[in-house]
Amino acid sequence: MFSCRREVTPLLSERLDRPLLFREQTNLQLHLLACRSCRHYGKHVKTLSQLSKAFKKFDDGK
Ligand SMILES: [Zn+2]
């Protein structure tokens, strides 16, 4: 089983910046099925990233 903090949370952030390897993707999906706190964290990270992108756009539009 994956270790949440050491292996899963970095992947959850990295997948927003780069495509994951097939193996990483598979492991991540399997883990997310079993682990509620990582699912929650993944949602959170995604929201944060969307927010920061939105702010960036706002800045550029000046
Ligand atoms: Zn987990």
Mean pLDDT by 10 residues, the chain (62 residues): 87 94 96 95 94 87 66
- pLDDT in the model for residue 35: 95
What's the CA-to-centroid distance between 62 and ligand 1, angstroms?
A: 40
3-state per-residue secondary structure call for 1-46? CCCHHHHHHHHHHHCCCCCCCHHHHHHHHHHHHHCHHHHHHHHHHH
CB atoms closer than 10 angstroms to residue 40 = 11
- pLDDT in the model for residue 36: 96
CA 55 to chain centre: 19
- pLDDT in the model for residue 1: 59
What's the CA-to-centroid distance between 45 and ligand 1, angstroms?
A: 14
What's the CA-to-centroid distance between 23 and ligand 1, angstroms?
A: 17
